[in-house]
Amino acid sequence: MFNYLIFSIENGLTISRFMYDHAIILNALLSFKDQNYINILIKEQNDYNDILLKYIKLSNQNITSEYIESNIIVTKHTNLSEIKTSALSRIKINENLTSECTKILPGNLSNIIPEFNNSIQEINQLLFIMLNNSLKKYYLIKKSIGEKKIALFFSEKYIDHLIKETESYIYTINFFVSKINFTPTYVYCTQYNINFLMKEDLNFIKIMLEKNKVIYNLYANNTTNYIYEIMSTLNNEINPKSIDIINKKSLETAKYFKNWNTQLVSSLVNENYYTTTITLLYDHILREVNYYHYLLKKLK
């Protein structure tokens, strides 16, 4: 399964990194540049930059080598993706942040002392508050999109996706903040959320690829169909046997998606497609799937 304390650090590190990405991506996707929303998202980016640095400090020599090797908070394409996204959108991105992510080292987990939990608990509580505030802002942006005051570049449904992701983060962080033991229901809900979010990620990739005429849609369709098949089984009664079967299927899908998406991002960078797309979004989705794959292995 997993070490509760280590999982708390890794989970907070992951969420704060992903929320930092969300602020940049959402800002880049705004078609109607409203200064109020730009200011909101810049503040979001800066706030998550700060808390991510705190998690990086806590994580160094306190997380597993498996987590680091899973390329969850940084891939070999992240830095270039940020540079190209910044050049395209004119959004300032802290390049040193990604550099700091690459410096995190695994540690001897047995050396973690109980007092260390106080620091983790304090920063988790801060992240919990920030996530709930971000959720309110996302709903405000969704309302403005519905009123045609602003628009998103490739899909207005992306704000709904960010809302669902943020709600799933809040659900998980609450376990750590409230010091709740993980239950079969948590495992089941996490698997459901992973499959649901992977399905949406695939749909967004398909939309972006169609706009840029990149031929990867067949693979996306095949993976989407497999995820739909898994989700159709999630209505079964929760029991150890059903959870084990669903986890196995979900893990296979996440592995397939991860390998496919790694090839996609590499091709986009190497063949210069990134010059006409928001590259950070592709890299971000890859890192999300890397985390889903890592998490599903932990939930066995």
d(CA 48, CA 169): 14
| pLDDT > 70 fraction of the chain, expressed in percent and rounded | 81
Q: What is the pLDDT of residue 100?
A: 95
Higher per-residue pLDDT: 25 or 202:
25
Q: What is the pLDDT of residue 93?
A: 92
C-beta separation of 152 from 31 below 8 A? yes
Which residues lie closer than 8 Å to 41 by C-beta, 6 or more apart?
Answer: 23, 24, 26, 27, 30
73-125 pLDDT, tens digit per residue, is 999 989 988 988 888 888 999 989 999 999 999 986 665 666 677 888 899 99
The mean predicted confidence, pLDDT, of the chain is: 83
d(CA 225, CA 203): 11
Whether residue 66 is predicted with pLDDT greater than 70 in this model: the reply is yes
Cβ burial of 3 (10 Å; 0-12, 13-18, 19+) is middle
pTM, full prediction: 0.88
Higher per-residue pLDDT: 276 or 260:
260
Which residues lie closer than 8 Å to 287 by C-beta, 6 or more apart?
Answer: 17, 18, 71, 72, 73, 74, 75, 78
| Least confident window among 23-37, 55-69, 163-177, 218-232 | 218-232
- Domains of the chain with bracketed CATH: 4-298 (1.20.1260.120)
